[in-house]
């Protein structure tokens, strides 16, 4: 879906965001989005790592 945007579409979106939110709010919003993505990735990695640990514990108990 997002692969169809292209460079002109991306520039249009950025210009519209600049007009709507203004130059002062745009960096704040970008920072907030970045922090949200960082927290999401951290949580997703923790879930994956927890599942891997559980799987390895199950495998270890089956071997006994």
pTM above threshold 0.85: no
Give me the residue spans of the domains in the chain: 23-64
Check residues 4 and 34 and name the one with the higher pLDDT: 34
Give per-residue burial for 35-51: e unless 16+ CB within 10 Å, then b: eeeeeeeeeeeeeeeee
pLDDT digits (tens, 9 = 90+) for 5-54: 788 998 999 899 899 989 899 889 889 999 999 999 999 898 888 766 76
Report pLDDT for 16. Answer: 93
């Amino acid at each position: 879906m997002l692969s169809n945007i292209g460079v002109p579409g991306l520039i249009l979106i950025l210009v519209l965001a600049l007009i709507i939110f203004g130059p002062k709010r745009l960096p704040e919003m970008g920072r907030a989005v970045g922090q949200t993505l960082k927290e999401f990735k951290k949580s997703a990695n923790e879930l994956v790592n927890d599942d891997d640990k559980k799987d390895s514990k199950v495998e270890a108990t089956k071997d006994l």
